[in-house]
Structure 1
Amino acid sequence: MEQFLAFSLKEIPYVAITLMIAFTFHEFAHAYVAYRFGDSTAKNQGRLTLNPIHHLDPIGTLLIFIAGFGWARPVPVNRFFFKKPRLAGIMVSVAGPVSNLLLGMLGFIIWYGLVGSGLSAGLPEAVPNFLDIFIQLNLLLFVFNLLPFPPLDGFRIIEDLVPAHIRPKLTQFEQYGALIFIILVITPLDQYTIHPILNNVLPTLVGGLNDFFYQLLT
């Protein structure tokens, strides 16, 4: 059975808990920032909550364990209610990935807090194993969601950064977003698009934060 999974059976519980937290905070962050900028669409649909049930997509979550990639339920956003649509759009899009960055940093703070206090020595192996996966997956989600491909947050940020007359042209690509995403992830093209970015940016980010918190908290 394990050969059909993207993670080992030992890692499954840690991954499941991490994704439940990571996806929930990611989507809640989108909904909260949109609400603060005047759009109550997500709030009215019950998405302004930290209840994972309202954010997890069954198929998207299951695929992570099988294929190594997946998704949560996208938060609905109506730009019509934003007083400053471009600024609000950027802030809403950035909020999700930033929430995962903060969660990854929190993982480092907890771990090196335990190390610095001497409590880590008496902890069961499950604690460092969980924190390692918690940090890695949240930072992966941070970097991955900022990639400039539809339907990721990075693409939406670009839509709001480009001149107004270019935005409609980019928006046309969104209808093909899911197909483009799947092609880039599961075909050999990923070796020339997504993987080079992740294989360079992610280790640099993890290593840099690790060194920073090690020096700061130990």
Structure 2
Amino acid sequence: MPLNQLMQTLQGLTVWVLPVLFAITLHEAAHGYAALLCGDTTAQRAGRLSINPLRHIDPFGTIILPAIAYFGGGFLFGYAKPVPVNFRALKRPRLDMIFVAFAGPLTNIVLAAISIFLFSHLTPTMPQWAQLFVAKNLHNSAQINLTLAIFNLLPIPPLDGGRIVTGLLPPRLAREYAKLEQVGLLILLALLVFIPMLGDRLHMDFNFLMPVIEYPYEWLGSILVNLFG
């Protein structure tokens, strides 16, 4: 591969990987800090109350999966090692479960707002040689954090939205709903990969998940741009 092409590939990869890396690691760290505020020290004892990405990296979910998605032109997605939370150690288990679960998506929304603000107000003042690189990182950071926040709020265990729903339901229904966590990953894989692939074979659009993410993404994105852009 020619040197110029290699440098372009590395730069293109960097402006996606860096935002993904910080979005998913700060998302997980937020869960740990929220759990600590609610009385659970599990994440603290595990050394996960850190904004150091190395503490949260999952080799497959943080590195390999986003790289495959990037080079394959697919849905850019990744995840970090889940922060351990002992929900029984929380002061108010049901209410605190909602708070701990929502802390991750809320962190991503805040990061998206910061990225939009810096993109609008910082990059125009930067030297020309750095402006494009920083602007791409901030633009991608806003997109990735918004997508990650909305995706994680889907009401499917083990996503944060599933945990929020579990905390809101009456105890009996909550126990039954929480059992979906055993097959939640299979449901997500089906919605993200297998059903859209079947639709492609049949020349039909079976990508049911994208509109569910797209409309809240556009709504929330427009609000953040109006407030911080």
Report the TM-score when normalising by structure 2. 0.83
Deviation at 1:137, TM superposition (A): 0.5
After superposing on structure 2, the runs of 4+ consecutive aligned residues of structure 1 that deviate more than 3 Å are 120-123, 189-193
Paired residues of 1:150 and 1:181 also in contact (CA < 8 A): no
- Counterpart of 2:59 in structure 1 is 58
Distance 2:83 2:95 in 1: 18
- Counterpart of 1:171 in structure 2 is 178
Which amino acid counterpart does residue 11 of structure 1 have in structure 2? G
Distance 1:64 1:153 in 2: 20
- Counterpart of 1:156 in structure 2 is 163
2:122 to 106, 114, 117: 114
Which amino acid counterpart does residue 16 of structure 1 have in structure 2? V
For this pair of structures, how many residues does the alignment match?
206
Pair 1:147 & 2:149 matched: no
Distance 1:80 1:150 in 2: 18
The range that moved more, 82-91 or 8-17, is: 8-17
The range that moved more, 184-193 or 134-143, is: 184-193
Distance 1:49 1:212 in 2: 29
Deviation at 1:57, TM superposition (A): 0.8
Paired residues of 1:31 and 1:75 also in contact (CA < 8 A): yes
Deviation at 1:121, TM superposition (A): 7.2
Identity %: 38
1:74 to 68, 82, 103: 82
RMSD, matched Cα: 2.0
Which amino acid counterpart does residue 26 of structure 1 have in structure 2? H
Provide closer, same or farther for how the CA distance between residues 203 and 10 of structure 1 changes in structure 2, counting only shifts above 3 A: farther
1:186 to 189, 193, 203: 193
The range that moved more, 30-39 or 144-153, is: 144-153
Distance 2:131 2:87 in 1: 48
Paired residues of 1:150 and 1:180 also in contact (CA < 8 A): no
Deviation at 1:69, TM superposition (A): 2.3
After the TM superposition, which residues 1-218 of structure 1 pair with which residues of structure 2 at under 5 Å, given as runs? 10-61=11-62, 62-67=64-69, 68-114=76-122, 119-120=125-126, 122=128, 123-188=130-195, 191=206, 193-214=208-229
Which amino acid counterpart does residue 19 of structure 2 have in structure 1? T
- Counterpart of 2:72 in structure 1 is none
Deviation at 1:207, TM superposition (A): 2.5
Distance 2:155 2:12 in 1: 30
Distance 1:165 1:192 in 2: 33
The range that moved more, 60-69 or 139-148, is: 60-69
- CA offsets, 1:50-92, max 9 Å, x none? 1211111110122122133232111111111112111110000
Q: Secondary structure in 2 aligned to 1:72? A: coil
Which amino acid counterpart does residue 97 of structure 1 have in structure 2? P
Deviation at 1:192, TM superposition (A): 5.2
Distance 1:111 1:19 in 2: 17
Provide closer, same or farther for how the CA distance between residues 83 and 124 of structure 1 changes in structure 2, counting only shifts above 3 A: closer
Give the gaps of 5 or more residues in structure 1: 2-7
Distance 1:114 1:49 in 2: 27
